[in-house]
Amino acid sequence: MQLSDDRTQATLAINKTLTAPEIESLIRELATLRSQMTPEVTTAPKDSNGDGVPVMRQDNPTLAIEYPLEEAYVTVYLRSLGLGWTAWRLHPDVQRGLATFFNSRLPQAAPTPAKPIPFR
């Protein structure tokens, strides 16, 4: 993989059969390459015209949470059927914002049993 000097294009040479783990590795490499390119990924899931941009959507992803007691950050792992696992380190301010948002959306009626979140 080769990134152009102006970082707007990449040259790829892929002409082989890949296994699922090799595809996952390629996706990570492509994501790393994309993170170095311009223009940057939009800061919201809409383009400059307010239209939606292409996204991969999946209902009820598997997730795991890592929260070392000695660290303020929490790492949330999300499993995508197409992208594999992605990890997001959340600053305490982001954690508070998410907690406020999700708590505000909880129904006032008695909660229904939910599948527990696996912790790592």
Q: Are residues 65 and 118 in the same domain?
A: yes
Does 107 reside within a domain? yes
108 and 66 co-located in one domain:
yes
Sole residue written with tokens 């994309």 = 34
- The predicted pLDDT at position 43 comes to 85
Residues 83 and 113 reside in one and the same domain:
yes
Does 38 share its domain with 63? Answer: no
Lookup result for tokens 């000695």:
70
Cα-to-chain-centroid distance, residue 42 = 14
Burial class (CB in 10 A: 0-12, 13-18, 19+), 63: middle
Long-range CB pairs of 67-73 (<8 Å, 24+ gap) are: 67/119
Average pLDDT, 10 consecutive residues per value, the chain (120 residues): 96 95 95 96 82 86 92 95 93 96 82 64
From residue 47, alpha-carbon distances to 4, 44, 52, 58 in Å are 24, 8, 6, 21
Q: How far apart are CA 74 and CA 85, in angstroms?
A: 16
Structural domain harbouring 39:
1-43
In a domain, residue 48? The reply is no
Looking at residue 113, what is its pLDDT? Answer: 66
Q: Tell me, what's the pLDDT at 50?
A: 76
